[in-house]
C-alpha cells in the first residue's frame, strides 16, 4: 500500500531537497512548497493525501506560524512539524500555541527528522483500541474522541496526551514521563510545552477537562 504524502514547505530549495531525498529514500512520497501561500494552496487542494506537514517558520508570503494557524482552522488532526533557525523559547512556545506538534531547530539531522516522522505516522496508524472513562471515549484506530456522545476535535498532540492520561488513569505522571511518551524523544525545552497543551486540551473537553488534575511539583493525573 502506498504511503500517504508528506508536505514540505521551505523557501530554501537546498533544504527541501535534503529533506525530500531522505524521505523518498524511506518510501515517503513528498509534496513541496516554496512559500507559505503555496503550502496552503497545496494543502487544501490535496488534503486527503497528506499525512503530515513539515513547515519552515521563516517563509515569504505567509510564515510557518500563519500557515499552521490556517491549517488548524480546518484540520485539527494532521500532525505538523515546525522547522526553524530560531531557537528562542518564546518562538517555540508560539509554534505550539498555534497548533504545532513538533518543533525542530536548524541545523538538524535529516535522519532524526525522518525518525520522528516515522514515529508519528506509526502512532497515528496504531492498532484498533477504544478507551472509555467518565463519558469520554477515545478510538485510537479512528483517531476520534467523543465526550457524552459528542465528538470533539483535537490536534495530534492533544489526542496523544488524552490517550496517555486515560491509559494511566489514577496515576500521577511527571512531566518527564509525559514528554518521553507523547513527544517520543529526549526533549530539552521548557516543561511549559506540556502545560500549554494541557490547557488547550482541558478547554476543548469542557467540564470533563477538570478530570485532568494538576499535581503540584509533579505533573498531572487523569482522575475519573
The pLDDT, as a whole number, for residue 105 is: 81
Q: Which residues contact 14 (CB under 8 A, 6 or more apart)?
A: none
Alpha-carbon distance 27 to 17, whole Å? Answer: 15
Per-residue pLDDT of the chain (224 residues; tens, 9 = 90+): 344 799 999 999 998 999 999 888 887 899 999 999 999 999 999 988 899 999 999 898 899 999 999 999 988 889 999 888 766 666 667 777 788 888 888 888 888 888 888 877 776 654 447 888 899 999 987 889 999 999 999 998 899 999 999 888 888 888 888 887 787 654 555 667 889 999 999 999 999 999 999 998 889 999 87
The pLDDT, as a whole number, for residue 204 is: 95
> Among residues 55, 59, 57, which one has the least CA distance to residue 81?
55
Contact 34, 55 (CB under 8 A): no
Strand pairing class (5-9; 30-33): parallel
Alpha-carbon distance 102 to 6, whole Å? Answer: 15
The pLDDT, as a whole number, for residue 188 is: 53
Distance, C-alpha 38 to centroid of its chain: 21
Write down how long the chain is: 224
The pLDDT, as a whole number, for residue 140 is: 85
The pLDDT, as a whole number, for residue 190 is: 60
Domains and CATH numbers, the chain: 5-124 (3.40.50.2300), 130-222 (1.10.10.10)
Q: How would you list the strands of the sheet with 212-215, edge to edge?
A: 173-174, 219-222, 212-215
The pLDDT, as a whole number, for residue 126 is: 47
CA dihedral 141, 142, 147, 150 (to 10 degrees): -160
The pLDDT, as a whole number, for residue 217 is: 84
Contact 5, 30 (CB under 8 A): yes
Amino acid at each position: 500500500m502506498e504511503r500517504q504524502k508528506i508536505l514540505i514547505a521551505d523557501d530554501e530549495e537546498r533544504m527541501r531537497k535534503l529533506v525530500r531525498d531522505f524521505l523518498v529514500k524511506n518510501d515517503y512520497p513528498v509534496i513541496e512548497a516554496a512559500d507559505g501561500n503555496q503550502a496552503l494552496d497545496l494543502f487544501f487542494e490535496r488534503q486527503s493525501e497528506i499525512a503530515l506537514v513539515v513547515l519552515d517558520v521563516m517563509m515569504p508570503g505567509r510564515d510557518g506560524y500563519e500557515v499552521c494557524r490556517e491549517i488548524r482552522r480546518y484540520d485539527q488532526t494532521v500532525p505538523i512539524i515546525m522547522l526553524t533557525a530560531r531557537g528562542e523559547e518564546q518562538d517555540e512556545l508560539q509554534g505550539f500555541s498555534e497548533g504545532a506538534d513538533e518543533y525542530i531547530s536548524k541545523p538538524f539531522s535529516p535522519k532524526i527528522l525522518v525518525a520522528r516522522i516515522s514515529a508519528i505516522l506509526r502512532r497515528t496508524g496504531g492498532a484498533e483500541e477504544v478507551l472509555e472513562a467518565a463519558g469520554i471515549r477515545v478510538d485510537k484506530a479512528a483517531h476520534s474522541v467523543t465526550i457524552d456522545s459528542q465528538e470533539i476535535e483535537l490536534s495530534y498532540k492533544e489526542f496523544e496526551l488524552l490517550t496517555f492520561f486515560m491509559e494511566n488513569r489514577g496515576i500521577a505522571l511527571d512531566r518527564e514521563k509525559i514528554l518521553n511518551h507523547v513527544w517520543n524523544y529526549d526533549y530539552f525545552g521548557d516543561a511549559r510545552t506540556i502545560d500549554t497543551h494541557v490547557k488547550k486540551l482541558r478547554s476543548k473537553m469542557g467540564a470533563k477537562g477538570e478530570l485532568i488534575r494538576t499535581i503540584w511539583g509533579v505533573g498531572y493525573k487523569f482522575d475519573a
